[in-house]
Amino acid sequence: MHRIRATLRHALNIAIKQDRLIDFNPAAVVELPDADRPKALVWTDERVADWNRDLQDRLDVEQQRRGARLSRASMINVYASVPRPSPVMVWTPSHTYTFLAQAATHRLSALYRLIALRGLRRGEAVGLRWKDVDLAAGTAGVHWQITQLGWEPVQGRPKTEASDRTVALDEDTVSALRGHRKRQAAERLAAGEAWTNSGFVFTDEIGGPLHPQQVSDHFYQLAFQVGLPPVRLHDLRHGAASLMLAAGVDLKVVQETLGHVSSTFTRDTYTSVYPEVARAAAESTAALVNTAAAGAQTARLITLPNHT
């Protein structure tokens, strides 16, 4: 409702300023209750166990309803539809490693690395172009994206000025991109005259740009195959922010890597605290007090006057 109001307010402002069709914007005075962003939660062992029980119950019900063994597609649909503790769920570092290991042999493995570790949006990863990638310098320029309008893919510039950025790449991701380029060259030879020289890093088997939904579909299949609890593809972006902060990366660097206008938005929206990081912070805090307590045992902090 808030997004609808914002769209209407913007459209009516244009009607006032450019077309002079109206002289008052009614959407500007519409009041709505506050809308809180869903809180990102980490898939802890306890949450995974509870969700797994729900998944098995739903699979049993679906199998009894159909009276036959479920197909793989049906199982994935049930897997993706089981309610989660929060609309936004984040994998632990171990979960992310497991997924990337599973995806390593997939033709889009490098794309998933960019989303999981560098926090690219789906459209930005799909829209990445070779001319904007410098493997020698270890950088990728995010200057293009492919999004969906309904079902139709739409090519265009990143959503904001801050989203138009250059992202640093780790050595393993550079190696993955080198391997992907070799694979793409082999596909080009196999396609022959059918090849489309689109210039995109990630393409279909004949060089055409990918449909964004195709990337999401493959993602769910890979996660399901390796038995991971479900997250949305966009949730890998939340996980990337959490991984960077857990690794000690400065918040400003995380903000610029994700392409946000402000670090406040990054902190409030895209970060989750891993249980092990929270425990380490608690232990560090207690250790600081314990160190001070040890010193206090050998020296009095205040000399009290003698009273007779």
Please report, in tens digits, the pLDDT of each residue of the chain (308 residues total): 888 998 899 889 888 888 778 888 999 899 988 877 788 899 999 999 999 999 999 999 999 998 888 999 999 999 999 999 999 999 999 999 999 999 999 999 999 999 999 999 999 999 999 999 999 999 999 999 999 988 999 999 997 899 999 999 999 999 999 999 999 999 999 999 999 999 999 999 999 999 999 999 999 999 999 999 999 999 999 999 999 988 889 989 999 999 998 888 888 777 777 877 778 878 888 888 887 776 665 555 555 566 55
Residues 87 and 205 in one domain: yes
- Identify the CATH number of the domain in which residue 204 sits: 1.10.443.10
Number of domains in the chain: 2
Residues 71 and 101 in one domain: yes
Residues 148 and 216 in one domain: yes
Residues 157 and 57 in one domain: yes
pTM for the model: 0.84
Residues 6 and 81 in one domain: no
| Residue whose C-alpha is closest to residue 259's, from 161, 149, 172 | 161
How many Å apart are CA 120 and CA 200, to the nearest integer? 15
Residues 185 and 222 in one domain: yes
How many Å apart are CA 172 and CA 303, to the nearest integer? 60
Residues 106 and 9 in one domain: no
In a domain, 299, yes or no: no
Residue 70 vs residues 53, 63, 122: alpha-carbon distances, Å: 18, 6, 30
Residue 3 CB partners (closer than 8 Å, separation 6+): none
The residue count for the chain: 308
Residues 103 and 24 in one domain: no
Helix %, strand %, coil % for the chain, to 5?
55, 10, 35
Residues 1 and 63 in one domain: no
Instruction: Tell me if residue 165 falls in helix, strand or coil.
Output: strand
Question: Residues 58, 205: contact at Cβ < 8 Å?
Answer: no
The parent domain of residue 157 ranges over 36-277
